[in-house]
Structure 1
Amino acid sequence: MSALLEVEHLQCAYGSSQVLFDIHFTVGEREVATLLGRNGMGKTTTVRAILGLTPPRGGTVRFLGERIDGRSPDRIARMGLALVPEGRQIFPNLTVEENLRAFAANRAGVAQPWTLERVYALFPRLKERRQNMGHQLSGGEQQMLAIGRALMTNPHLLVLDEATEGLAPLVREEIWRCLATLRGQRQAIMVIDKYVKRLVRLADRHTLIERGRVVWQGDSQQLAADEGLWVRYVGV
C-alpha cells in the first residue's frame, strides 16, 4: 500500500515552548489511521503542522510523495488534504447548502465525486435542514456539516480532529456510522478521538503520543489486546 501521508521526526514549537519533539507515522492509500493521546499531548498541533497552519521547527511532512512542510494551508488543501477541525468552524451565516456548495471541488479527481445528493444521502438530517443557517444547527448537525463540507472537496485524505468530542451518544453513533461507510468506500482517513473501543473496530493502524513524542504504534489487533495502553496514554 502506497503512503499518502508521511510524517518524519516532526518538531513544532509555540515561541520558546517546544510542543512536538519527534512525531512520525504514515497514512496509506485507502487506510484509516488514528492519532491518540490525552488532551494537551500534541495531537492538534500535529494536525496544524501537517496542514501548514503552524510552521514545523524540524522534520518533514510528505503528501502524495511531495514535501509539504513550509507550504501554505491553501496550497496543501488544494492537493487534496481536507480537515474537519476541532470546533467544526462552519460558516454561521450561510445555510447548510451554501456551506456545502462553497467547498465543492474534485481535488482527488475521482470518477464519482461527492455531490450534494451524496452528502444528503450520508446525512439525511442535513437535507432536512438544508435551508437553515449554520448557527441554527445543533452541535451534532454542525459536525455532520463539517464532515460533509470536507467531503465536498473530494479529498485524497480526510482528517478529523476530535471527531465526536462533545456530541450526544446518539449523534456520536451517527458519526461512527458515517466513518464506517467512508471506510467501506475506501476513503483514506486520519482520526483523532478518545473512544478507543470504536476506533479499534474502525481503523487499521494507531499512533499513541505523549508530550509530543510517539510512544507506541501498531495495528488494531495489537491495541485491542492491550487495554493497559488505553489507560496509560489515552485515559480511558
Structure 2
Amino acid sequence: MSTAHHPREALLEVDAIETAYGRSQVLFGLSLRVGAGEVATLLGRNGMGKTTTVRSVLGLTRAQGGAVRFRGERIDQLAPDRIARMGLAVVPEGRQIFPNLSVTENLVAFAARRNAHPEPWTLERVFALFPRLAERQRNMGNQLSGGEQQMLAIGRALMTNPYLLILDEATEGLAPLIREEIWRCLEALRAQGQTILVIDKYVRRLLPLATHHTLIERGRVVWQGDSSALAHDPALWERYIGV
C-alpha cells in the first residue's frame, strides 16, 4: 500500500498480524497504521475482529504471526504492562472503572508523567475537559451515570499521558447528547495533537473527526482510505458497517 495517504511518521504499525483464540483464528494478515498526531478509525460490524485487534496491540492476546510496532519498537512479544508503560492507553469497551473509588481516586490511580506532551494531563486539565467530573469528583464510580463513567474512563486514560489513546466503542449505549459531548472531547484532543485510534460505528460523526479509516470484515482489512473517499462511498458503510 502506498504511503501517499500517510505523510506523518507512524506511531503505531500493525503489520499482517494473525491472531487466534485457541484453534479459532480471528485475524488474518491484518495491517493498519496510525500516524503521529492523527485520528484514525477501525470500523466493522460486531464480531469482525476489532476488539481482538486492540487486544493484540496491547499484548492481551498475543499475535501468532506478523508484527506490531509502537514508536518504532517491536512490541508484539512484550507483556501488557510493559506496553502500557510505553505510552499506550485504552478506554475499554464497558468502561471498567473502579466502582468503589471516587472520581478523583479513579483518575490519580493511573497518573503517569511522560514527555508525550508539552502540557501534561493533570486532574485540573481533565476537570476542565469534563466539567461534569469536576462537579462529581467526590462521588464513587458506581454513583455516576453511564455518560459520566465514560468521561471518567477517558480522563483516566489521559492521566497516563499517552502517546496513543485507543477508544473501543466509546459511545456505545450512550444517550445522543452525551455521545455528542464525547465527540466534542475527541475534537478538542485532536486539536491538541493527541494521536487517537477510534473504534465506533457512527461513521458520519467520524468522517470530520478522523483522517484515515480501516474497514475490516472477518478479521481481514477490506478497505483503507481517507475521509473524503469514505464519504463518497456510502455503499461501503452499508456493506461493512451496516449503517
Where on the TM-score scale, by shorter chain, does this alignment land: which range?
over 0.9
Instruction: State the Cα deviation string for residues 104-147 of structure 1 (Å, max 9, x = none).
Output: 11234432100101000000000000000001111110000000
Please give the alpha-carbon distance, in whole angstroms, between the structure 1 residues aligned to 2:18 and 2:201: 23
SS of corresponding position for 1:147: helix
Which amino acid in 1 is paired with 2:169?
E
**Unmatched 5+ stretches in structure 2:** 1-7
**How far apart, in 2, do the equivalents of 1:101 and 1:227 lie?**
42
Residues 30 and 219, structure 2, Cα contact 8 Å, conserved in 1: yes
Provide the rounded CA distance (Å) in 2 between the counterparts of 1:151 and 1:213. 30
Among the aligned pairs, what percent are the same residue? 74
1:14 to 18, 21, 32: 21
The 2-side partners of 1:108 and 1:50 are apart by 22
Q: Can you list the C-alpha shifts for 1:19-59, whole angstroms capped at 9, x where unaligned?
A: 00111010011000000000000000000000001011111
CA distance in 2, matches of 1:90, 1:108: 25
1:157 maps to what in 2?
A: 164
Aligned to 1:199: 206
Q: Quote the Cα distance in structure 2 between the aligned partners of 1:129 and 1:26.
A: 37
Select 2:42's aligned residue among 35, 46, 67.
35
Match of residue 151 from structure 2: 144
AA in 1 matched with 2:81: D
Where 1:208 maps in the other structure, the secondary structure is: strand
Please tell me the residue identity of whatever aligns with 1:208. L
Superposition pairs of residues 115-194 of structure 1, within 5 angstroms: 115-194=122-201
Relative to the length of structure 2, the TM-score reads: 0.96
CA distance in 1 between partners of 2:201 and 2:11 (Å) = 24
What is the identity, as a one-letter code, of the residue corresponding to 2:188? T
Contact 1:108 1:155 (C-alpha < 8 Å) held by counterparts? no
Q: Structure 1: which 5+ runs fail to align?
A: none
Mapped pair 1:78 → 2:85? yes
The whole-number CA distance in structure 1 between the counterparts of 2:194 and 2:173 is 25
Give the 3-state SS of the residue equivalent to 1:92 in structure 2: coil
Segment drifting more, 38-47 vs 106-115: 106-115
What is the match of residue 69 of structure 2? 62
Alpha-carbon separation, structure 2, partners of 1:133 and 1:43: 31
CA distance in 1, matches of 2:114, 2:125: 17
TM value normalised by structure 1: 0.99
